[in-house]
Amino acid sequence: MPEKKIRVLIAKPGLDGHDRGAKIIARALRDAGMEVIYTGLRQTPEMIASAAVQEDVDVIGLSILSGAHNTICPQLMALLREKGMNDVTVLVGGIIPEADIASLKQSGIAEIFLPGTSTQDIIEFIHKRIAR
C-alpha cells in the first residue's frame, strides 16, 4: 500500500499581507513530498479551522508577522478543539517575541519557528512528529 502523504495547511491569518515566508514554506514542504494546501491571505481563525477540517490535515502552519499572534492562536486552538481536531499539529512561524512563546505553547501550539529557521529544520520536525 502506498504511504499516505502528510497533509499540511499553510495559513496566513490576520490583516498582514507579507507572504514571502508562507510561500517559501508551502513550496519547501511540497518539495519534501507533503500535500500542501495554502489558504491565501487574510484568513480568520474560523476560516482556517473550517479549512483544516475540510482538508483533513495533519499539520497547520500559521505565518504571523504582525504581532497579532496572542489574539489569533488561542482563538484558533479553541475552534479546533470544538471541531474535534485534537490531533492536528499546529506550528507558528514568524515574528514572535520570546516572552510570548511559553504562553503560545501552553495554548497548544506544538512549535514556534523564528526568523532564520532553515526549511530543513521544519521538514524534520514535521516528519518526527507525524511518524507514519
Partner 1 sequence: MNDKSKSITPTAPPPEVSSAHRKPSAKEQAWEKNTLQPTLEKNPERQAEFTTISGHPIRRLYTPADLPDWNAERDLGFPSDPPYTRGIHSTMHRGRLWTMRQFAGFGTAEDTNQRFRYLLAQGQTGLSTAFDLPTLMGYDSDHPLSEGEVGKCGVAISSLADMEVLFDKIPLANVTTSMTINSPAAVIWAMYLAVAEKQGADWKKLSGTLQNDILKEYIAQKEYIYPPEPSMRLVIDTFEFGVKNTPKFNPISISGYHIREAGSTAIQELAFTLRDGLEYVEGGMRRGLDVDQFVPQLSFFFNAHSDFFEEIAKYRAARRIWHKAMVERYGSKNPRAWALRFHTQTAGCSLTAQQPYNNVVRTAIQALAAVLGGTQSLHTNSLDEAWALPTEFAATIALRTQQIIAHETGVTNTVDPLGGSYFVETLTNEVESGAWEYIRKIDAMGGMVAAIERSYPQREIAEASYRYQMALDKKEKIMVGVNDFVSEEKHLDTLQIDETVAHRQAERLTKLRAQRSNDEVARRLNALRTAAKSSDNLMPFIFDAVKSYATLGEICDALRDVFGTYEEVAIT
Binding site for partner 1 (CB under 8 A): 10, 14-20, 22-24, 26-28, 30, 36, 38-42, 44, 66-68, 70-72, 95, 97-99, 114-116, 118-120
Helix 98-106, helix 69-82: angle, nearest 10: 10
67 or 108: CB nearest partner 1: 67
Least distance CB 86 / partner 1 (angstroms): 24
Separation of alpha carbons 67 and 89, rounded Å:
21
Separation of alpha carbons 132 and 65, rounded Å:
32
Cα dihedral 60/65/66/70 (nearest 10): 50
56 or 114: CB nearest partner 1: 114
Least distance CB 93 / partner 1 (angstroms): 12
CA neighbor of 91 nearest in space, from 54, 53, 52, 55: 52
36 or 88: CB nearest partner 1: 36
2 or 79: CB nearest partner 1: 79
Contact 60, 89 (CB under 8 A): yes
Least distance CB 90 / partner 1 (angstroms): 17
Least distance CB 103 / partner 1 (angstroms): 14
